[in-house]
């Protein structure tokens, strides 16, 4: 039986995720959006590209959640995107309502699915999906660290003029300005970047990583990033569908790990067929732990805001 992945939200992130899933032949794809004709049109366009791209993945565009029934994974990108001058947090009220509605629909039709949240503000949206779905915590995951780490890896590659394939990086914490890039755990071919560049350059790359999304928003002027976010969500989906046991930084519900309880925070996790199969605890310096605690406090503020809506 073929895998089935539903992507909710037919905008730039969702459509790009559908494209990557199909072209990698990871699954048959269902693309859902509330706007009539948009998911159908994009699905047809992607289907017509299939003979050229040489894949046989089925792609269905629809406005009806019934088409998502029995999905293995649901990737949720639905919501309003950031515009210049907006923070991820400005989106909270509108997107919380959208997330609640989406989760109710997909959880009822795909009770065994893993849900990957991409919508912003991401960590807070994970709480909405978790509460509404009643899924176990290992099957509600936020896409944040994979994207933020990819940005850090790209900047390291550009700075040192080395292959991105040699770069590895970890970014923990919430998906926002309080995220915690970890230079000590970031390497090029196994060599810590702290041995390859001066402190001021590392700090500049860390700052650029934190502002990576805002930098793209300011350049595009009419939207936000979508190629890299889509790729990040698909990497997570691939690790789950192929049971790869891949260690990736993702937003997971912590219950005491890293001294944090009851919040979705970006940490290293093992992704396999069961979703999050393990939370990896790494040793942090006092300074790094303080930064992670600050990030957790920022997530808690958003969660408290949602709870008051």
Active site residues: 175
123 and 142 Cβ atoms separated by less than 8 Å: yes
Question: What gap in Å lies between CA 210 and CA 214, rounded to an integer?
Answer: 9
Question: What gap in Å lies between CA 140 and CA 53, rounded to an integer?
Answer: 32
CA atoms in the 13 A half-sphere facing the CB of 291: 18
Residues with Cβ within 8 Å of 98's Cβ and at least 6 positions away in sequence, in order, are 78, 79, 80, 119
Q: Which residues pair with 251 in a beta bridge?
A: 142, 266
């Amino acid at each position: 039986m073929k895998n089935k992945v539903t992507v909710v939200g037919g905008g730039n992130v969702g459509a790009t995720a559908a494209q990557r899933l199909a072209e990698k032949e990871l699954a048959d794809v269902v693309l859902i959006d509330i706007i009539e004709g948009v998911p159908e049109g994009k699905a047809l366009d992607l289907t017509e590209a299939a003979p050229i791209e040489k894949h046989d993945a089925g792609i269905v565009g629809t406005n009806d959640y019934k088409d998502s029934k029995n999905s293995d994974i649901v990737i949720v990108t639905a919501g309003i995107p950031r515009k210049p001058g907006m923070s991820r947090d400005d989106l909270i009220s509108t997107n919380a309502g959208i997330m609640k509605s989406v989760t109710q629909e997909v959880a009822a039709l795909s009770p065994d699915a893993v849900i990957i949240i991409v919508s912003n503000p991401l960590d807070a949206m994970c709480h909405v999906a978790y509460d509404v779905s009643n899924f176990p915590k290992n099957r509600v995951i936020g896409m944040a660290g994979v994207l933020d780490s990819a940005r850090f890896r790209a900047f390291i590659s550009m700075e040192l003029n080395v292959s991105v394939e040699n770069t590895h990086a970890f970014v923990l914490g919430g998906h926002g300005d309080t995220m915690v890039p970890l230079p000590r755990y970031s390497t090029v071919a196994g060599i810590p970047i702290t041995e390859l560049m001066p402190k001021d350059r590392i700090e500049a790359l860390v700052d650029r990583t934190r502002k990576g999304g805002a930098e793209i928003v300011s350049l595009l002027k009419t939207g936000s990033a979508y190629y890299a976010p889509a790729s990040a969500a698909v990497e997570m989906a691939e690790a789950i569908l192929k049971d790869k046991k891949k260690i990736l930084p993702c937003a997971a519900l912590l219950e005491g790990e890293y001294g944090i309880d009851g919040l979705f925070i970006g940490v290293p996790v093992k992704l396999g067929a069961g979703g999050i199969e393990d939370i990896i605890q790494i040793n942090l310096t006092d300074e790094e732990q303080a930064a992670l605690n600050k990030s957790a406090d920022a997530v808690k503020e958003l969660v408290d805001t949602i709870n008051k809506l």
